[in-house]
Amino acid sequence: MFTGIVTDIGEVIEMREAGDRHLRIGTCYDVASIPTGASIACSGICLTVVETGSGNGSWFAVTASAETLARSTAGSWKVGRRINLERPLKVGDELGGHIVTGHVDGVGRLVSAKPEGESLRLLFDAPQPLMRYIAEKGSVAVDGVSLTVNEAGKDRFGVNIIPFTQRMTTLGVLKPGDGVNLEIDVLARYVARMEEMR
């Protein structure tokens, strides 16, 4: 379980194919504190740490299955790709964003990024089936970042990101056409399911 508050920007430093895709991700985290089997959200994708190391900088290794590659942006990652990182929530931690599971619901695309004061207004295309769960003033995770929805239409939604978020995540460097991992608010999912069951 995560909160959508990014605590590091990592970088894919090695990638190899051997049945699944094996990735080594450079990080500023103290990898001595990351046990094998721990979960780390990598641009919103909950991945299991299978190895850690500190030669030539700290890193952790993960494995991405064919399902993960097909349903997220991980299928297009290359060496050098910068990704948002978040370690899992611990009991007693501050819940600064919203409840994020790390289970990507679909891939969206940036339509536009326009300055609005010091902030950036980002407009995303989203798969139409997900839009029923995305509501104005609700929450959505974009590449693992917890954001408040400013506008929601039939197949697009918009958010604003403040300068801090632009600097501390990868969202500030997105370009139109770039894909992003989307996770809908888990509460919205269950509310919609309860309505279906009535």
Q: What is the pTM of this model?
A: 0.94
Per-domain residue ranges of the chain: 8-86, 106-197
Predicted pLDDT at 31: 96
Bigger pLDDT: 188 vs 140:
140
Q: What is the pLDDT of residues 82-137, one digit of tens each?
A: 999 999 988 888 778 888 999 999 999 999 999 999 999 999 999 999 999 999 99
CA separation, residue 79 to residues 10, 59, 82, 105, 188 (Å): 11, 14, 9, 24, 35
Instruction: Check whether 193 has a pLDDT greater than 80.
Output: no
Predicted pLDDT at 126: 98
Structurally, at CATH architecture level, domain 106-197 sits in: Beta Barrel (2.40)
Q: Which fold has domain 8-86?
A: Elongation Factor Tu (Ef-tu); domain 3 (2.40.30)
Predicted pLDDT at 190: 80
Predicted pLDDT at 191: 81
Please check whether residue 31 is in contact with residue 59, taking contact to mean a CB–CB distance below 8 angstroms: yes
Query: What type of residue sits at position 58?
Result: S
Predicted pLDDT at 42: 98
The SS3 of residue 195 is helix
Sign of torsion, CA 186 132 70 80? negative
Instruction: Check whether 141 has a pLDDT greater than 90.
Output: yes
Predicted pLDDT at 172: 95
Please check whether residue 12 is in contact with residue 33, taking contact to mean a CB–CB distance below 8 angstroms: no
- % residues pLDDT > 70 (the chain): 100
Predicted pLDDT at 118: 96
Tell me which residue of 185, 184, 179, 143 sits closest to 161, measured CA to CA.
143
Query: What type of residue sits at position 184?
Result: I
> What is the pLDDT of the chain when averaged over all its residues?
94
Instruction: Check whether 184 has a pLDDT greater than 80.
Output: yes
Predicted pLDDT at 189: 79
Fold agreement (8-86, 106-197): yes
Beta strands in the chain (DSSP E): 8-18, 20-26, 39-42, 45-53, 59-64, 82-86, 106-116, 119-125, 139-142, 145-152, 156-161, 179-184
Residues 16-41 have a mean pLDDT of 96
Tell me which residue of 183, 177, 175, 111 sits closest to 147, measured CA to CA.
183
Q: What is the pLDDT of residues 160-179, one digit of tens each?
A: 999 999 999 999 999 999 99
Predicted pLDDT at 90: 84
